[in-house]
Structure 1
Amino acid sequence: MRPLWYRNAVIYQIDPTLFRDNNGDGCGDLPGITERLDYIRGLGCTAIWLMPFYRSPFKDAGYDIADHLAVDPRFGDLTDMVALLEKAEELGIHVIAELVVQHTSTEHPWFQEARRDRNSPYRDFYLWADEPDDSIEPIFPTIEDSVWTWDDEAGQYYRHLFYHHEPDLNLENPRVIEHIERIMAFWLRLGVSGFRIDAASHLIEQAGGGDPEKGYWLLEHIRDFVTLRRPEAVVLGEIDVEPEQYMDYFGEGDRVTLLLDFWINNYFFLALARGQGEPLHKALLRQPEPPRRAQYAIWMRNHDELDLERLSDEEREEVMQTFAPDPDMRAYNRGIRRRLAPMLDGDERRLAMAHAVFFSLPGTPILRYGEEIGMGDDLSREERLSVRTPMQWSNEPSAGFSCAPPERLVVPVIDTPPFDYPSVNVYAQTLRNDSLLAKTGNMVRTRIGLREIGEGRCCPVEVDQPAVFAVRHDADSTVLMLANLSDQDVRVAVRDDDLEDFVDLLADRDYEQPTGHPLRLHLGPYGYRWLRRKQQLFGG
C-alpha cells in the first residue's frame, strides 16, 4: 500500500500577508512565498498550510472571504498561485489551503444578493430571523454582544457566530453545498493537497440544523469529494471539543484525515507552566487512538489566541498567571495573545526543550512561521493581531520582509528589544550552529526519519523524576524521547522492562550513553534526548 504522506510530515504554517513581500508594496504575497520555499524545505518541512489568500476586505485576516475562487490582488493572481504550486511540487512540498465555508464576508456577492431580495435564491444561503434568539453565545464575547445583527436592507437579523461582518452560511441548503464543491474542485484541480477546515465543529452544527449528530454527513461528504479527486489529499479539521468527542469527527477514518488537537495543546502549556511532565502524560492517556487512516495534528502556537478552554478553571488560571500575568496579555476571557518565545522569556534553552517536547508528541506537527527562530509579539496590536507580525528574515530595514518604506508596511515589524528584528532573525541564526533555528531544523529532519512516530503507537513512559516528560513510540522498532522541563540537572530511571541498550539519535548536548536496568539517563537543565535501540539504529 502506498505510504500516507502525512504520517511523517511536518507542516509549516504561513500567513501570506506577513511572510515575504516580493514586489515591494509593503504586503506579503504569493511570489514571496514561492521565493522562500527553498528555506522551508531546507528546514525539513514537507508541507505548508497557507492561511487565506482569497479575495477579501481583510477585516479578519482574510477569513472574511468575498470570493473563494479568486486570489486577492494584494497577493498576486492565479498565475502566481500556479507558480507556487509548481515550485512546491518540484521540492516535494504539499500545499494545504484554507476552506472557510462556515461564513463569508458581508461583501460576498451571495450576501449582497441575499440582503436585497427576500425572494432571491441566495436569501436561503444565510441564516435569518425576525427576532434574535440570544441563547447562542458569540465566539468573541468581549467584542460582539450577540450573534445576531440587524440589516436594514434585508429587513431582518442575520446570524454570525464570529464577527458581525461574517454572516453564517446555511449549510442545510443543498445549493450552498454545490458551491462548496465547486470551490474544492477548483483548488484541487490547480494542485493543492487538501484543505484546513476552518471552524469545523461549528460547520457540523450548522449542517445539522443545530444538532451536531445530524451534521457529520458534511465531513464525510467533504472527505469523499476530496479523495475521489485527489486520493492523497487531506482534510485537516479545526475541532476544539472534549477528547471523548474526537471519534465523532474521525468517524471510521471517513471524516477528517487530521484533527487539530486542542486537548494536547492545552496540557502542553500546563506542563510547561508547572515544569512537570505529568499533565501531558495524563492528557495522552485520556486521548482516543485515531482510526487507521487518520491522525492528530499538533502545534505549539498558531495565529489565534492560545485558547485554554480544555483546562479546568483552576488549571487555566495557573497557566494564565505563569504566562500572561498582565490582563493585556489575555483575550476573550479564555486565552493568551502572546507568542511562545515571550512566554518563555526568550530563553533559547527552554524554547529548544519546548520544541523537543512538541516534536515528540504523536501526530503531524505544525510549525508556525517564525517559531523556529523564537519570534516575539506586539501587544500594542488589538486582540489576536498581537501575534501576527512580519517574518524576521534579517537585520536589514523592515526585517528583510519588504523593501518598502516602514510607513508602507501592512503591519509594523517588531523593532523593540528583546525580540526586535536586528536581534532575532533567520540570517543571524543561520550563522550559529547552536541557534534555535539550527536546533529546530535538526529536530524536524530527525523526526521525519522516525517512522515509529508516524506509524507506531505512542505511550507515556514512567520515570522517577516529575520534571521529565517521557514517551515511547513503537512500531517494529522503538524510539524513546525524554525532555527535562526544569532548570535543574536530573538523573532519570526509566522503568519499562523492555527498554534497554539504547543510544542517542538527537540530544541538546553530548551525554554519556545510558546503561543498566532500569535504564538510567542524565538530562541537563532543559535538556532533551531522543534514543533508539542499537540494533534498530538504522532501521526504517
Structure 2
Amino acid sequence: MRPLWYRNAVIYQVDPSLFRDADGDGWGDLRGITERLDYVRSLGATCIWLMPIYTSPFKDGGYDVSDHLAIDPRFGDFADMVGLLEKAEELGIHVLVELVVQHTSDQHPWFQQARRDRNSPYRDYYVWADEPHETEVKPIFPTVEDSVWTWDEVAQQYYRHCFYRHEPDLNHANPKVREEMYRIMAFWLRLGVSGFRVDAAPYMIERAKAADPREDGHWLLDDMREFVAMRRPEAVLLGEVDVEPEVYSQYFGEGDRMTLLLDFWVNNHLFLALARSEAEPLTRALEEQPQPPEHAQYALWLRNHDELDLERLTEDEREEVMQAFAPEENMRAYHRGIRRRLAPMLGGDERRIAMVHSILFSLPGTPILRYGEEIGMGEDLSRPERLAVRTPMQWSDGPNAGYSQGDPQRFPAPVIDDGPFSYREVNAYAHTLRDDSLLKRTSEMVRMRLSLREIGFGTCRPARVDCKHVLALRYDNGSSVLMLANLSDHEVEVTVEEDDLHDLVDILDDVEYPRPKGRPLVVQLRGYGYRWMRRKEELFG
C-alpha cells in the first residue's frame, strides 16, 4: 500500500447498523457491508469509513462505547471483521474505523468501577468535581444538555460530559488513559485497519493541556502520530476538528500530527454559496484558510451523520443558509445547524444535486461521500435530533428497501416509506437502470477525480471568470485542469480570464456542450451545469 494513498482517494462513509442486514436480525452488520463492497468499489471509492462497531448501549449511534476492544454482537464478530478487511484488501479499498476516546458510555466498566470507589485506579480516568464550576468547554448539544456537569448518586460527585450525560469525559491528563488509548489503537492497527477517524479531537487536546501545557496540549497529537507511524506507516489520522481556520496549523503540525482534517470551514461556506447561487463565499473560504503541510490535507464532504453545523458562519450568514435550506423550525438543530440530507435541501433536483457533487470532487482535498448521497436519499424528520439523517440504505423497491429481510420492528431506524424520497422512488437499483442517474453521474465524477493527477498532487487556485454564479478552479501539476460549476438555475456564458488556458476540451460534463473557443476562452454552462476541461494536447499526457 502506498504511504500517501490518501492524497488521491475517495472515502465512502458507512453506518454499519443501517447499511445492510445480512443475517436477518434487523440490524445492519459487517457481513452486510462485506457483501456490498463490490457496490462501493463500482462507485469508485477507494476507502470506507466505518462508524462505530464497538460494544455499546447505542444511545448515541454507537459513539457511547462500553468496550473499545469488542465488536457489538449486533454487527457480528471478529471473524466477520477480518472477512471485511480481507475483501476490502482484494478490492483495493482501505478501511478507517472510529477512535472514540474523548468519552465512554456510562456503562463502560471503567466508569462503573470509578463511580463506586474514590480510591479506584479508574476514578481518575474521568473528570470529577464536588461542585459544578465554569470550564472552557460548553455543552455540545445546548438544547438537550444545559450543563457539562451531572451529579452521580453512587460517586457522590459531579462528573463532566461535553456531550450527553450518558457519555462521561475521559481524562487525558491521566497517563493511564493515554495508555489505554494506545492499546486500543494498537489492537485495531494490528487487525489491519488503515487508520482512524479521531472523534472530538479538540476536547482531547483540552484535557492533555491540563496535564502538560506544552504546545497548548497539541503534543498529544505528536505522540499519537508517532505511535501510528511506528506500527503502520501508511495509516492515517482523520481529525474531527471544528475550529477556526487559523488554528488548523496546530492540528496539522509540520505534517506530523493529523494526516487529514475535516474541513468545516469550507463546508459551511459551500452552503452559503449555494444559498446565494454565487461562488464568492466558497472561493473566499478557500483563499482564507491556511495551506496544509506537504504530507497532510483537508477532508471534504457535503453531509455527514450529524447536523449540518454552521458555526463557522456569522449569525446573519447562518440564518441566510437556514432560510434557504431549513425554513421550518423542525428542520433545525441545536440553534446552529440543519438536520436534513442534501437531496431534500436541494428540492430533489438531480441536476442541482449532481452539480453540488461535482463541486465536492473538484475541491482540493480528500472527498467523503456518505452512504445514500450517491442516490439522493432523504431524511426522516419525525426522528429526534441528528437521527433524522440516519435511516437505512435504500437498495431497492422491494420489502424493507432491500436493507433487511428481518422484522421492521427490530430495525434501528424505520425505512423511509412515503413521500418523494421513499425507497419506492429512490433506490440504488432504480439508479442502475438509468444512464443519466445521479448514481452513474457520481460514479463518473469519482473515477475522473481519481484519474486526475493534478488534483491529488498539484496546486489549486480559483480561476478568474466574469460570472459571479460560476465556481472556477484550476489545478496545475505540469498540466492544467479547469473545473467549472454553475450555481444558478439559468444558462450562462462565462469568459475564462486566464491567458494560458485555451484550446480546452471537456473530460467530464453534465451534457454535451459545444467546444469552448476564443482567447480569452468563452464557455457555455446550462443551469446547474458543470464542466471539467483539459488542454487538448494534454488529454492523454
User: Aligned-pair distance for 1:74?
Assistant: 0.4
Paired letter, 1:473: Y
For normalisation by structure 2, the TM-score amounts to 0.98
C-alpha separation in 2, matches of 1:500 and 1:204: 49
Q: Which residue in the other structure is 2:373 paired with? A: 371
C-alpha separation in 2, matches of 1:394 and 1:318: 36
Q: Which residue in the other structure is 1:120 paired with? A: 120
Structure 2: unaligned runs, 5 residues or longer: none
Paired letter, 2:532: W
- What count of residue pairs does the alignment treat as equivalent? 539
**Structure 2 SS opposite 1:105:** coil
Q: Which residue in the other structure is 1:253 paired with? A: 255
Q: Which residue in the other structure is 1:160 paired with? A: 161
Deviations 1:325-353 (A, max 9, x none): 00110000000000000000000000000
Q: Which residue in the other structure is 2:434 paired with? A: 432
Q: Which residue in the other structure is 2:471 paired with? A: 469
Q: Which residue in the other structure is 2:56 paired with? A: 56
C-alpha separation in 2, matches of 1:192 and 1:536: 37
**Structure 2 SS opposite 1:208:** helix
Q: Which residue in the other structure is 2:12 paired with? A: 12
Match of 1:263 among 262, 265, 279: 265
Deviations 1:159-196 (A, max 9, x none): 00000000001101111111111100000000000000
Q: Which residue in the other structure is 1:280 paired with? A: 282
What does residue range 351-366 of structure 1 map to in structure 2 within 5 Å? Answer: 351-366=353-368
Higher alpha-carbon deviation: 134-143 or 84-93: 134-143
**Structure 2 SS opposite 1:95:** strand
Runs of 4+ in 1 over 4 A off after TM superposition: none
Paired letter, 1:165: H
C-alpha separation in 2, matches of 1:503 and 1:178: 55
Q: Which residue in the other structure is 1:527 paired with? A: 529
C-alpha separation in 1, matches of 2:319 and 2:527: 26
Q: Which residue in the other structure is 1:172 paired with? A: 173
User: Aligned-pair distance for 1:33?
Assistant: 0.2
Is the Cα–Cα contact under 8 Å of residues 151 and 157 in structure 2 kept in the other structure? Answer: yes
C-alpha separation in 2, matches of 1:102 and 1:203: 6
Deviations 1:446-487 (A, max 9, x none): 100011111111101111111101101111111100000111
Paired letter, 1:108: H
User: Aligned-pair distance for 1:354?
Assistant: 0.5
Q: Does 1:194 align with 2:188?
A: no
**Structure 1 SS opposite 2:74:** helix
User: Aligned-pair distance for 1:515?
Assistant: 1.3
**Structure 1 SS opposite 2:489:** coil
Q: Does 1:330 align with 2:332?
A: yes
**Structure 2 SS opposite 1:273:** helix
Q: Does 1:139 align with 2:151?
A: no
Q: Does 1:181 align with 2:182?
A: yes
Paired letter, 1:138: P
C-alpha separation in 1, matches of 2:87 and 2:337: 37
Q: Which residue in the other structure is 1:346 paired with? A: 348
User: Aligned-pair distance for 1:406?
Assistant: 2.4
Percent identity, please.
Answer: 70
CA distance 1:393–1:67, change in 2 (3 Å):
same
Is the Cα–Cα contact under 8 Å of residues 3 and 233 in structure 2 kept in the other structure? Answer: no
Q: Which residue in the other structure is 2:151 paired with? A: 150
C-alpha separation in 2, matches of 1:3 and 1:521: 39
User: Aligned-pair distance for 1:200?
Assistant: 0.8
Paired letter, 2:399: P
**Structure 1 SS opposite 2:300:** strand
Q: Does 1:106 align with 2:110?
A: no
Q: Which residue in the other structure is 1:484 paired with? A: 486
User: Aligned-pair distance for 1:134?
Assistant: 3.5
User: Aligned-pair distance for 1:212?
Assistant: 8.8
Is the Cα–Cα contact under 8 Å of residues 373 and 436 in structure 1 kept in the other structure? Answer: yes
Paired letter, 1:417: G
User: Aligned-pair distance for 1:404?
Assistant: 1.2
**Structure 2 SS opposite 1:464:** coil
Q: Which residue in the other structure is 1:204 paired with? A: 205
C-alpha separation in 2, matches of 1:306 and 1:498: 39
Higher alpha-carbon deviation: 495-504 or 83-92: 495-504
**Structure 1 SS opposite 2:246:** helix
**Structure 1 SS opposite 2:484:** strand
Q: Does 1:34 align with 2:37?
A: no
**Structure 2 SS opposite 1:97:** strand
Match of 1:517 among 516, 519, 524: 519
User: Aligned-pair distance for 1:3?
Assistant: 5.9
C-alpha separation in 2, matches of 1:538 and 1:300: 31
Q: CA RMSD in A?
A: 1.1
Q: Which residue in the other structure is 1:398 paired with? A: 400
C-alpha separation in 1, matches of 2:317 and 2:21: 41
C-alpha separation in 2, matches of 1:292 and 1:538: 27
Paired letter, 1:499: L
Q: Does 1:414 align with 2:423?
A: no
Paired letter, 2:389: V
Paired letter, 1:166: E
Is the Cα–Cα contact under 8 Å of residues 22 and 28 in structure 1 kept in the other structure? Answer: yes
C-alpha separation in 2, matches of 1:310 and 1:58: 29
Is the Cα–Cα contact under 8 Å of residues 399 and 421 in structure 1 kept in the other structure? Answer: yes
Deviations 1:44-81 (A, max 9, x none): 00000000000000000000000000000000011111
Deviations 1:256-299 (A, max 9, x none): 00000000000010011111111111111101111011010000
For normalisation by structure 1, the TM-score amounts to 0.99
User: Aligned-pair distance for 1:205?
Assistant: 1.1
Paired letter, 1:292: E
**Structure 2 SS opposite 1:362:** coil
C-alpha separation in 2, matches of 1:304 and 1:311: 17
C-alpha separation in 1, matches of 2:338 and 2:521: 39
Match of 1:382 among 384, 388, 391: 384
Q: Does 1:94 align with 2:94?
A: yes
Is the Cα–Cα contact under 8 Å of residues 134 and 146 in structure 1 kept in the other structure? Answer: no
C-alpha separation in 1, matches of 2:270 and 2:54: 33
Q: Which residue in the other structure is 1:216 paired with? A: 218
Paired letter, 1:496: E
**Structure 1 SS opposite 2:84:** helix
